[in-house]
Structure 1
Amino acid sequence: MRALVIAPQWIGDAVMSEPLLRVLAVRGEKLTVAALPWVAPVYHAMPPVAEVIELPFAHGRLDWSGRRRVARELRGRFDVAYVLPNSLKAALIPFFARIPRRVGYHGEGRYGLLNERHPNPGGRPPMVAFYRALSGDAARTEEPRLSFPPERLQSVTGALGLAPQAYWVFAPGAEYGPAKIWPAGHYAQLARELHARHGQPVVLLGSGKEAALCEEIATAAPGACCVLAGKTTLIDAMVLIAGARGVVSNDSGLMHVAAAFRIPQVAVFGSTSPEHTPPLSPNARVLWLKDELQLDCMPCFERTCRYGHYRCLTGVPPERVQAALDDALAKA
């Protein structure tokens, strides 16, 4: 059985699709994943995936002619397609490619485009179960897994003068907006403490958009940090996470990457909920202080704080994160 998987457009969602792909591969389906360029590297770290096709589309564009062109190149290659995003445009390539079985959620009214439509679930379901249900087997919610060959880890860390398990990683950004970002001053205080206690550098990862935030943290923690935000490819950032001693992040795509590598980690949640997108790893610790802070507005799922105080994030002290990281390290 030859299967085409249309990947989601966000890094975290891509990671959370791995249990679905593992189920499909175990039952004998040969998997090709079609993904946008900024997500495609995630699938190179998934052993069940035989091939990754990078889709030449800009974010948010329909690009009708481009999708027809890609579909023509894929005709006759696949028996089934799994469309993970809910958008109408995500279902166009399997339809134009005339793939016989086209599986996905009803989504944006995709009558005709998909011929095996699952009903849209209510609310905000856990994403791993949401994707895995497309296999017809949602009995278990398994944890995502990613892996790289050891030589890849040695190559990437060695080129940067780092040694595996001898550095920390912070991923302080979040594409969604400031309502998911733990304060830079808190990150800096934690970086100073980790460096003073262990004498090991803190590597700051993220996109080019997050470079200024990372520089702010590094400036407030002199000598403790190495800023690599915007200076690595996504796949090298993933390798660096795989080799880290521990990771601290917001609710972000790189948080899910750390969980899939089973790295001891702490994830700070603010406007979003760990009931929807938790880091699925026994080595993860989540700090979401809704009850302690007595904030009825949590989770609001908004990009910015409607009240302007961001207490859901500022109210999480660095000492709590340090204690949670110590616990994750001790029990890993």
Structure 2
Amino acid sequence: MENKNNKVLVLRLSSLGDIVLLSPVFKNIKAKWPDSKITLLVKEQFAQALAGHPDIDEIMVFKGFIPTLREIRAAHFTHLLDLHSTLRTMLLSLFSGIPNKQRYNKNSLARRLYVKFKMPSPALEKHTLEKYLEALKPWDIPIKYKTPDLNDWKFQAVDLSKKEVQNICIFQTSFLGDSVLTTPLIQKTAKMFPQAKIFVVTRPANVEIFQNLKEVHQVIIDDKRGLGKIFGVFKTAKNIKKCNIDVILVPHRSFRSALIAKLSGVKVRIGFTNSEGRFLFTKTVPFTWMIHDAERNLYLLQGIVNENFKSANLNMQGAGANAEDSVREMIKEAGLEGKTLVGVHPGSVWPTKCWPLENYAKLITRMEKELGVTSVIVGGKADLDLSEQVCRLSDAHPVNFATKTTLTELMALMKHFRLFVTNDSGPMHIATAFGVPTLAIFGPTTKELGFFPYGEGNRVVEVKGLPCRPCALHGGKKCPLGHFKCMKDITVDEVFDTAKEMLNIHNG
């Protein structure tokens, strides 16, 4: 009869984000051996954050090779699972004296061959989590749980009564899209702390996003341009301090953001464990790429309350009466009243995120001639030349609203679109926040990074199986390999067929 009172040691001496992915591993072990004891060996800086997982019985801290090996041997484990597969963990496994040992296949050789000689391998297409779970098969452990859930990690909340929280600050000074994806955090915070005033720190370009949210009491501007990146640190910290903030939540993961939070004097400062300034927070929560950014931000609240968050509601309020009146006038003057409109955003901050202009021109032409819709191009100052080129190349009659709308007016314009076609960009998130069916074209970035168009019915068109994707978190100025296949291999036919399908669904 199988002994279910097993003592299992799991080795993972990596970053916290990687460790968070292990949750399904623990759950599957416990499902097979409910009376087993699971010990997780981690680096010292992650021990506190990982404590409290319902399926982890003990956290063992790595204290150097020899002391740790002694501790392992003294504990008399029955099973060892190496989910790091480095020389150090392999040596710990070798000398551990544990009878049953398994190690996940890191495919180190395949990775080296790809980096050095660009030799692709099917092994590299598997997600790391899949490889972790495969390591359980020799122990005949069924895989019932396949995806991580941050609700598995029960963070110890700050001892702070909701009645004590009068002023909450949310710090987000990143790009437009990141700001839009912070709105569910603001709305959830307001719902959980109805008596509190919510302050938001953001860059000047994104003020309109937050000014139009009824939950926001005040917007504090952090101007990072020029010398403001350095001297603005103290100015912004001083402005936060004036507001008597009780709790500051920092989804932005830069060192500068964490430093400002610290200098502001706010007693409860909560950020992510992979923040460059994580040691400046009073509490950190694990970060993982396995969920959408809008949902991930909500978990910052688990630093102060013990509640579960299953999904984010990305739903922004109206953009304001003045902006809506202005947009209606623009539509009237452009002769667009009564027409089926498709929004198109061919630009991006990052050049490699842009689908070729001639492809957008061909798509716009086909959508007008075959589907009877009119394309409205949107964008900021940086997109003006690009949008004009698309119009010139097109054989249709697109209307170019690039640079003609403020951010608030762009938000008001969204509700007039039947579909929004875009690169991976800030306007993509605005469209989804207003419930516009969104078709996003992804090249250097992938859905797994967590910034895909959020919500049911939205679609991503991308090249599958290209081993160089993703090449960067945000994209780049040029393709590192020089071929730009991630965008060039996406055909007009593929995007058009997807757009047609989405329009038919929406019309139905």
Q: For the superposition of Structure 1 and Structure 2, which TM-score range results when normalised by the shorter chain?
A: 0.7 to 0.9
Q: Is contact 2:199-2:218 (8 Å) kept?
A: yes
Give yes or no for contact 2:212–2:320 (8 Å, CA) kept in 1.
Answer: no
Moved more, 82-91 or 48-57: 48-57
Please point out which of 158, 169, 178 is paired with 2:329. 158
Per-residue CA deviation, residues 228-254 of structure 1 (Å, 9 max, x unaligned), is 223322222222223212110011111
Which of these residues, 181, 186, 191, is aligned with residue 364 of structure 2?
Answer: 191
Structure 1 segment 125-136 matched on structure 2, within 5 A:
126-136=292-302
Match of residue 87, structure 1, among 250, 254, 259:
254
Q: Which of 13, 25, 29 is equivalent to 2:190?
A: 25
The answer on whether the counterparts of 1:132 and 1:138 sit within 8 Å (CA) in structure 2 is: no
Alignment of 1:75-114 (within 5 A): 75-106=242-273, 107-111=275-279, 113-114=280-281
Identity %: 26
Task: Please say if residues 173 and 213 of structure 1, whose CA atoms lie closer than 8 Å, have aligned partners that are also in contact.
Answer: yes
Please say if 1:140 is aligned against 2:140.
no
Shift of 1:261: 1.1
The aligned residue for residue 216 of structure 1 is 389
TM-score (norm 1): 0.88
The separation in 2 between residues aligned to 1:149 and 1:318, in whole angstroms, is: 33
TM-score normalised by structure 2 residue count: 0.59
Which residue of 2 is the match for residue 176 of structure 1?
350
Map 1:278-289; keep pairs closer than 5 Å: 278-289=452-463
Quick one: distance in 2 between partners of 1:272 and 1:71?
Answer: 33
Letter matched to residue 147 of structure 1 = Q
Alpha carbons of structure 1 residues 317 and 82: separation in structure 2 relative to 1, 3 Å: same
Distance 1:124 1:275 in 2: 6
Cα contact 2:319–2:409 (8 A) shared by 1? no
Displacement, 1:173? 0.8
Q: Is the 8 A contact 2:349 2:425 kept in 1?
A: yes
Counterpart of 2:423 in structure 1 is 250
| Higher gyration radius (CA) | 2
Does structure 2 retain, via aligned residues, the 8 Å contact 1:36–1:57? yes
CA 1:76–1:211 in structure 2 vs 1: closer, same or farther (change >3 Å)? closer
**Distance in 1 (alpha carbons) for counterparts of 2:373 and 2:227:** 41
Judged with a 3 Å threshold, the aligned counterparts in structure 2 of structure 1 residues 138 and 16 are, in CA distance, closer, same or farther, namely farther
- Taking the aligned partners of 2:294 and 2:459, their CA distance within structure 1 comes to 18
CA distance in structure 2 between the aligned counterparts of 1:147 and 1:193, rounded to whole angstroms: 33
SS in 2 for 1:63: helix
User: Residue 216 and residue 63 in structure 1: after superposition, are their counterparts in 2 closer, same or farther (change >3 A)?
Assistant: same
Secondary structure at 1:38 match in 2: helix
Question: Considering only aligned residues, what root-mean-square deviation do their CA atoms show, in Å?
Answer: 2.5
Structure 1, gaps ≥5 residues long: none
Answer yes or no: is 1:305 the counterpart of 2:476: no
Does 2:170 align with 1:5? yes
Q: Matched residues in 1 for 2:263 and 2:482: separation?
A: 47
Q: Does structure 1 conserve the Cα–Cα contact (< 8 Å) formed by 2:387 and 2:400? A: yes
Q: 1:20 to 1:201 in 2, by over 3 A?
A: same
Aligned partner letter, 1:167: L
What is the DSSP-based 3-state SS (H/G/I as helix, E as strand, rest coil) of the residue aligned with 1:132?
helix
Q: 1:202 aligns with which of 368, 375, 391?
A: 375
Q: Is the 8 A contact 2:202 2:220 kept in 1?
A: yes
Offset, 1:165: 6.7
- 1:154/1:164 contact within 8 Å kept: no
Distance 2:317 2:398 in 1: 26
Asked if residue 16 in structure 1 is aligned to residue 189 in structure 2, the reply is no
Where 1:32 maps in the other structure, the secondary structure is strand
Q: Is the 8 A contact 2:360 2:390 kept in 1?
A: yes
Letter in 1 for 2:467: D
Corresponding residue of 2:282: 115
Bigger mean CA deviation after superposition, 215-224 or 226-235: 226-235
- Alpha-carbon deviations, 1:145-190, whole Å to 9, x = none? 2221584434313234344873221111111222x11111111011
Query: Whose relative contact order is higher, 1 or 2, with alpha carbons under 8 Å and at least 6 apart?
Result: 1
**C-alpha spacing 1:46/1:165, structure 2 compared with 1 (3 Å):** farther
Q: Work out whether residues 263 and 283 of structure 1, in 8 Å CA contact, stay in contact via their aligned partners in 2.
A: no
Q: Distance in 2 between the 1:226 and 1:82 partners? A: 41
Q: In the alignment, residue 275 of structure 1 is paired with which amino acid? A: E
Partner amino acid, structure 2, of 1:39: N
- Deviation (angstroms), 1:198: 5.1
What SS is found at the alignment partner of 2:205?
Answer: coil
